[in-house]
C-alpha cells in the first residue's frame, strides 16, 4: 500500500473522499482506532492515508486542525459568509451576533451578506443600511446589495473566495443555497421554501462536502435555525466583540468586562454611538447566559 496526503472533500456514510495536492481523488474509511479515541475525521481535514487503488483507502492520521465547527462539521475553515436575511425570516441582531461570536472564537473571518434586501420598504432598507454600516465600523466586511443577489454583490463575493476554505452559513431560509446557485448556476442546489406557518425553513442540505469554486473551496452545509455557542468563560466573551478590543486597553482595570466596573472605556463608546447599542445589549445578554445568573422562576413567585 502507498501512503498519500490530502484533504477530505466529502464525508458520507462512513466513507471519505480525499483529494491530494496532485488533484487525485481517493475514497477511504477511517481506521477503528479513531473510534476508540473518539476522533472523527471531518470535511476539510488534512489526512495521511494508505491505498492501493482509488476506492480502498484507510485514513492513518489527521493533521492538527486550525479550527473546527460542530454545525456544520467542517475543519480548517478560513472564512464564513454569514447570510443574514432581513425579511422572512426577519433580521435578528441576536442571531447575527451569536454567529459572529462563534466565528471569532474559532478564528474564522466573517463576511456578512444581507439577503432579501429588496423585500422590505425603502424606510426599512435605510434603517438596515445603517445597521450594516455599524458592522462595517466594528471591523467586519459587509455586503449589502440594493437588490438581492445583484451582480455587484456577487462579484464582491467571488473576489473573496480564491485560496480560501469558505463556509456559507445562516438561518435556514436566509437564502444560502439561493446565493450559491447565483454564484455558480450549474450547482442547482436544492432550495427550501420557507414554511410560512413556522417562519423557519426546512432542512434541505443533507451532507457536507467541499465544492471547488473560483479557485477556492466552499462547504455546502446544512442550514440551521439556532446557533449554540458560548463554550467560553464569561470573562473571555469581550475578546470576541472586535470593536470592544479597540477601547478596552483604555479601561481603568485590566480584565474589565464592561458591565459595572468604574473607568470602563467601552460603555462611553456605546453611549456616544461609536459602538452599536444592539451589539452591547447582546453582549450583556450573552454574558448573563454564560454566567447562568438569570434565575428561572415563575413571575408570580417573585418576592416583593
Binding-site sequence positions for Zn(2+):
251, 256, 258, 264
C-alpha cell at 252: 481603568
Question: Cβ-count burial of 189 within 10 angstroms (0-12 exposed, 13-18 middle, 19+ buried)?
Answer: middle
Cα angle 61, 64, 70; round to 5:
100
Q: Which residues are annotated as a binding site?
A: 115-118, 170-178, 251, 256, 258, 264
Q: Which residues are annotated as a binding site for GTP?
A: 115-118, 170-178
Residues sharing a CB contact under 8 Å with residue 62, sequence separation 6 or more, in sequence order: 34, 39, 41, 45, 46, 47
State the alpha helices, DSSP H only, in the chain. Answer: 32-36, 93-105, 122-138, 151-160, 176-183, 244-247, 266-271, 277-291
Measured distance CA(83)–CA(179) in Å, rounded: 8
Radius of gyration of the chain (CA): 22
Residues sharing a CB contact under 8 Å with residue 254, sequence separation 6 or more, in sequence order: none
Parallel, antiparallel, or unpaired: how do β-strands 216-220 and 165-169 relate? Answer: parallel
Amino acid at each position: 500500500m502507498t501512503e498519500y496526503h490530502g484533504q477530505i472533500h466529502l464525508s458520507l456514510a462512513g466513507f471519505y473522499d480525499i483529494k491530494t495536492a496532485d488533484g487525485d481523488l481517493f475514497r477511504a474509511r477511517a481506521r477503528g482506532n479513531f473510534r476508540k479515541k473518539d476522533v472523527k475525521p471531518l470535511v476539510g481535514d488534512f489526512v495521511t492515508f494508505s491505498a492501493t487503488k482509488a476506492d480502498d483507502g484507510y485514513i492513518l492520521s489527521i493533521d492538527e486542525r486550525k479550527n473546527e465547527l460542530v454545525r456544520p462539521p467542517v475543519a480548517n475553515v478560513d472564512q464564513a459568509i454569514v447570510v443574514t436575511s432581513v425579511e422572512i425570516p426577519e433580521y435578528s441582531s441576536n442571531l447575527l451576533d451569536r454567529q459572529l461570536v462563534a466565528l471569532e472564537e474559532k478564528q474564522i473571518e466573517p463576511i456578512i451578506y444581507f439577503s432579501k434586501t429588496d423585500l422590505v420598504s425603502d424606510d426599512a432598507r435605510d434603517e438596515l443600511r445603517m445597521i450594516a454600516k455599524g458592522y462595517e465600523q466594528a471591523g467586519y466586511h459587509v455586503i449589502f446589495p440594493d437588490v438581492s443577489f445583484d451582480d455587484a454583490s456577487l462579484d464582491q463575493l467571488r473576489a473573496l473566495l480564491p485560496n480560501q476554505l469558505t463556509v456559507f452559513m445562516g438561518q435556514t431560509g436566509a437564502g444560502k443555497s439561493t446565493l450559491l446557485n447565483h454564484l455558480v448556476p450549474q450547482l442547482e442546489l436544492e432550495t427550501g421554501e420557507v414554511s410560512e406557518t413556522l417562519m423557519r425553513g426546512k432542512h434541505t442540505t443533507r451532507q457536507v462536502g467541499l465544492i471547488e469554486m473560483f479557485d477556492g473551496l466552499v462547504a455546502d452545509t446544512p442550514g440551521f435555525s439556532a446557533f449554540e455557542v458560548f463554550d467560553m468563560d464569561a470573562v473571555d466573551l469581550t475578546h470576541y466583540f472586535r470593536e470592544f478590543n479597540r477601547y478596552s486597553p483604555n479601561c481603568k482595570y485590566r480584565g474589565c468586562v464592561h458591565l459595572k466596573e468604574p473607568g470602563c472605556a467601552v460603555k462611553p463608546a456605546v453611549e456616544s454611538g461609536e459602538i452599536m447599542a444592539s451589539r452591547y445589549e447582546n453582549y450583556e445578554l450573552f454574558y448573563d447566559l454564560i454566567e447562568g445568573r438569570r434565575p428561572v422562576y415563575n413571575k408570580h413567585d417573585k418576592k416583593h
